[in-house]
Structures are given as C-alpha cells and as structure tokens.
C-alpha cells in the first residue's frame, strides 16, 4: 500500500533530482532508454506470463502489442533522440533582424502517467518512453484491474531505476487520488472519459497541463467497392485482438447496403475459420479483464441479431467473437463504447447516413477505418469525419507507425504522443531569439517621429 506521504516523498525526491539537472543530458537519456529496453527483454517471459494471467493474452499478441511494441518504440526513439534534442532554427522577420531564432526543447519536470487496464505496458511504458526522451522524471501508475502485470512492471522499474528518477506506484482510486493531489508538471492519462474528467479537475488545482488519451465509438466504414475478402480479415483481426479490449478497435461497422449480405457471410466464415466453432478452445483469443466488464459486455448482446458467436462463460470470463446484424442507433450496444468482442453491424445507403450515425453518437471517434477502392470516397470521408487517427483499407495499423502522432479529438481526448510528437508533447518549446550586438537598428526605439512609414512597410 502506497500512502499519501509515500507519494509526496516520491514527488519531492523526483523534483529535487530534476532540479539538479540530472535528467538533462543526451547521454543520461540514451542510457536510461537503453536500460529500459534491456530490462524489457530480460523481463519478457515474466511480463508475458503476467499478461496471460490478467487477460489470457496469447504470447504472440503480448509481444506484438506490448513487449515487442515497446522495444520497437525504444529503438526508434534512441536512434533519433540526438536529432530531436537539437534546437530547431526558424526564420526571423525583418523587423527583429539581425538575429537568429531557435526553438529549444526543454524538459517539463516531474511527469505523472496513469494507465488503463487493456494494455498495461502500452498505456504506461509508451508514454514513459516519451517522458524519458524529453528528459523528465516520471511516476507511472498502471491499472489495478491487471494486478499481475502491474506488479511485474513495478518490480522491473524498481530494479532498473532509482525512484527519484522513475517510480511505479501500484493501486487503484485511492493511490491515484493521492498522486493527483501532488503538484506535477504534466499528467498523461489513458482511460475512460469519466476518469479523464476527474484527472482534469485535479490538474486544474495546480494548473498542471494534461494529455488525455480516451476512448469512444470508432466506426469502420465498408463501401460498396471495398475488397471484401481483405476487409473482413482486417476488421476481424482489429476487433478481436485482445478480445476487443482495444481503444482503437473498430467499435461498429457501417456497411453499404449493396454488399451487406456478402460482407456478413464472409465475416462469419472468416471468424469460424480463424477461431473455430468453439473459440474458447482457441489459443489465440483473450479473456475479459473482470466480472463487471464481462456482465456489461454480455448485456449488450441481442441474441435475435447474432450472426456468429454469442456464447459466453462467466467462470472464465470468456465471450465468443460475436457479430450482430441490423443494429440501430437505439440499440443498447450503440449507446456506449463496446470494449469487448462484440461487433455491431449497421447498413447505410449513402454518405449522409454515415454522417447521421457518426454525429448522432456523443463522442468524436478515437479512430476511423475506411474500406474503399475509390480515391474520392477515401478523401471525402477522411476530410469530413472528425476522428483521432485511422486507416484506409486496414484497421489499427496507424499505431504501428511511430512517425504518426497518436491521440484523440473532442471527447476521445487531446494531445498526441509516440515518436517525435511524444518527445514534443512532454517538452517545453522554449523560444529564444539571439540578437546581434554588432549593430543596433533604432527603428523601434523612441523617438518615433518619422519612423511610422518604415514600420508600416515591415508589418504589412
């Protein structure tokens, strides 16, 4: 149990270490990132076992989305860190010439990273890599719903780093509340909109900037000209990865009426082929994190609309990969983020139907997936639908590219991280204009008489 006093002490010590400039140098940052990468490799088996215990995660998925994913982000960051840290030169307008202008990336201080349960490593270590690259100290707080993974993360961080640089606090609401009472310099929160609002209120007390990585209902649009064989494979793998407990999973499908039946049949056959008649026997399928979420997801299934799946087992928190057809906006499944292996399918006839559905839902989607061979349809939908990020003709692959900023819009959150955008998000962009002293133009000094016309020319 971590008490309020413990938490206050960690923050105090981290601030003192930060103020000693211990985290600033390129060498320190690089060595620390390397240490984390080595640690992740060493702890790989233990972390995979923990993820298996918490979520029934297959080893392949654990490596793809958690350990290997973070190792790749570390390598990507280490290779580019020197370049990212260099001050960036920008142009200087005539009025303030002669001078040189640069943006210096300076660290923020003590950062607090609060993670969600679905990717215990991804939602804590991925932002941590940005925080470390930017030269901050950090406290990570993984979810209490995945106790084995959180405990293993804590063990790894405590073994690798001094706590006045990086610390891991485990626990639930009480510990997070204690952390939020402290003054930190940036809070990066991943989780639900409800808790995101609690985090923002707490941050406001200290005027601490926040990044909120939230969820929402992410649409997947299947146009009449989409290549259906490819689409069903990609949609199913995106939806059923981690048993649907992925923030950027396709939440629901909007399929064009002309191809709806063919799409549903192909999707059904693909699900049966991939996971078998009884997906509980499949070694490639996860379980739901706890009983509360299990009951919540099961209650969203309308048996009269099930195309495939629908089975569940409370004892093992198993819910079969499930497709529901002819869903409407009034169905309970369309009133909240599904966050489970149930895929509602709705039909549309024209683009206006798509806008009607997307805009009827209370949240801007975190992701959007567009399956179409038509360049104009792709362009039009990307331009007109507001979403955090997404793919054309694939699902969730945008997360595989650290060059793409990752973050939401509106109710799905704000502020991006990953790669350079994470480094930038957790740095302060300090603007510095270095003026020449060998000459001293007197245009802007009093007396002003006779200078206005020259000023007008420069400021037009």
The contact mask relative to ligand NAD for 56-75 (x = CB under 6 A, - = no) is --------------------
Q: Choose the catalytic residue: 61, 213, 224, 347.
A: 213
Least separation in angstroms between CB 222 and ligand NAD: 22
Least separation in angstroms between CB 119 and ligand NAD: 6
Q: 242 near 65, Cβ under 8 Å? A: yes
With b for 16 or more beta-carbon neighbours within 10 A and e for fewer, the 403-434 pattern comes to: eebbbbbbbbbbbbbbbbbbbbbbbbeeeeee
Which one of 8, 148, 160, 198 is in contact with ligand NAD (CB under 6 A)? Answer: 198
Count of chain residues binding ligand NAD (CB under 6 A): 28
Stretch that binds ligand NAD, among 2-10, 158-166, 170-178, 262-270 (CB under 6 A): 170-178
Listed in sequence order, the residues at least 6 apart from 23 whose beta carbon sits closer than 8 Å to its beta carbon are: 17, 29, 107, 135, 136, 137, 165
* Dist. CA 310–CA 259, nearest whole Å: 23
By C-alpha distance, which of 65, 76, 63, 75 is closest to 38? Answer: 75
Stretch that binds ligand NAD, among 57-65, 108-116, 307-315, 443-451 (CB under 6 A): 108-116
The contact mask relative to ligand NAD for 358-377 (x = CB under 6 A, - = no) is --------x-----------
The two tokens of residue 425 are: 């998000």
Residue 388, Cβ neighbours under 10 Å: how many? Answer: 26
Q: Is 390 in the site for ligand NAD (CB under 6 A)?
A: no
Element (H, E) at 112: strand 110-114
The two tokens of residue 241 are: 């990865």
SS3 252: strand
Which one of 23, 123, 137, 149 is in contact with ligand NAD (CB under 6 A)? Answer: 123
Is residue 416 part of the annotated active site? The answer reads: no
Which one of 214, 232, 300, 308 is in contact with ligand NAD (CB under 6 A)? Answer: 214
Least separation in angstroms between CB 166 and ligand NAD: 17
Name which of residues 279 to 338 contact ligand NAD (CB under 6 A). 337
Q: Is 339 in the site for ligand NAD (CB under 6 A)?
A: yes
The two tokens of residue 33 are: 């990132």
Q: 371 near 220, Cβ under 8 Å? A: yes
Is residue 59 part of the annotated active site? The answer reads: no
Least separation in angstroms between CB 230 and ligand NAD: 26
Least separation in angstroms between CB 136 and ligand NAD: 19
Least separation in angstroms between CB 261 and ligand NAD: 31
Locate tokens 């649907």: which residue?
Answer: 244
Least separation in angstroms between CB 142 and ligand NAD: 7
What is the Cα gyration radius of the chain? 25
Q: Is 106 in the site for ligand NAD (CB under 6 A)?
A: no
Return the number of the residue (64 or 307) whose C-beta is nearest ligand NAD. 64
What does the DSSP assignment read for 387-453? -SEEEESSSSGGGG-TTS-B---GGGEE--BSHHHHHHHTEEEEEEEEE-SS----TTSSP-TT-HH
* Dist. CA 145–CA 63, nearest whole Å: 20
Q: Is 425 in the site for ligand NAD (CB under 6 A)?
A: no
Which one of 178, 247, 271, 367 is in contact with ligand NAD (CB under 6 A)? Answer: 247
Which one of 54, 73, 164, 213 is in contact with ligand NAD (CB under 6 A)? Answer: 213
Return the number of the residue (129 or 232) whose C-beta is nearest ligand NAD. 129
Q: Is 143 in the site for ligand NAD (CB under 6 A)?
A: yes
Return the bridge partners of 99, or none: 435
Omega cis (within 30) before 264? no
The contact mask relative to ligand NAD for 176-195 (x = CB under 6 A, - = no) is xx------------xxx--x
* Dist. CA 285–CA 245, nearest whole Å: 12
The binding site for ligand NAD (CB under 6 A) comprises 114-119, 123, 141, 143-144, 172-173, 176-177, 190-192, 195, 198, 213-215, 247, 337, 339, 366, 408, 413
Active site residues: 213, 247
């Amino acid at each position: 149990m971590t008490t309020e006093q413990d938490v206050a002490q960690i923050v105090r010590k981290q601030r003192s270490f930060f103020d000693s400039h211990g985290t600033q140098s390129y060498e320190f940052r690089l060595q620390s990132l390397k240490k984390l990468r080595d640690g992740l490799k060493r702890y790989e088996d233990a972390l995979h076992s923990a993820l298996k215990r918490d979520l029934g995660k297959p080893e392949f998925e654990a490596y793809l989305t958690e350990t290997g994913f973070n190792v790749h982000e570390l390598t990507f960051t280490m290779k580019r860190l020197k370049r990212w840290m260099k001050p960036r030169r920008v142009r200087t307008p005539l009025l303030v010439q002669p001078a040189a202008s640069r943006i210096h990336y300076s660290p923020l201080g003590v950062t607090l990273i609060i993670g969600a349960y679905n990717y215990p490593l991804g939602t804590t270590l991925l932002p941590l890599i940005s925080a470390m690259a930017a030269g901050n100290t950090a406290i990570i707080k993984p979810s209490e719903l995945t106790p084995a993974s959180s405990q293993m993360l804590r063990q790894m961080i405590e073994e690798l780093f001094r706590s006045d640089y990086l610390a891991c606090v485990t626990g639930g609401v009480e510990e997070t509340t204690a952390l939020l009472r402290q003054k930190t310099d940036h809070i990066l929160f991943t989780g639900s909109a409800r808790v995101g609002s609690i985090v923002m209120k707490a941050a406001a007390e200290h005027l601490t900037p926040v990044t909120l990585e939230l969820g929402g209902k992410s649409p997947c649009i299947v146009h009449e000209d989409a290549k259906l064989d490819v689409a069903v494979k990609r949609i199913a793998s995106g939806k059923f990865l981690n048993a649907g407990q992925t923030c950027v999973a396709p939440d629901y499908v909007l399929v064009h009426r002309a191809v709806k039946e063919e799409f549903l049949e192909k999707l059904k056959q693909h699900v049966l082929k991939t996971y078998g008649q009884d997906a509980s026997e499949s070694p490639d399928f996860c379980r739901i994190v706890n009983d509360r979420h299990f009951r919540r997801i099961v209650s969203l299934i309308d048996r009269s609309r099930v195309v495939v799946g629908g089975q569940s087992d409370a004892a093992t928190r198993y819910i079969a990969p499930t497709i529901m057809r002819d869903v409407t906006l009034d169905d309970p499944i369309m009133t909240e983020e599904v966050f489970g292996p149930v895929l509602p399918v709705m039909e549309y006839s024209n683009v206006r139907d798509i806008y009607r559905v997307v805009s009827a839902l209370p949240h801007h989607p975190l992701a959007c997936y567009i399956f179409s061979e038509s360049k104009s349809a792709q362009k039009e939908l990307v331009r007109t639908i507001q979403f955090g990020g997404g793919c054309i003709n694939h699902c969730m692959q945008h997360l595989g590219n650290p060059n793409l900023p990752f973050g939401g819009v509106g109710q799905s959150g704000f502020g991006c991280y990953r790669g350079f955008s994470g480094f930038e998000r957790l740095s302060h962009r300090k603007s510095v204009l270095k003026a020449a002293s060998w000459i001293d133009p007197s245009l802007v000094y009093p007396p002003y008489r006779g200078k206005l016309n020259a000023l007008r020319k420069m400021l037009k």
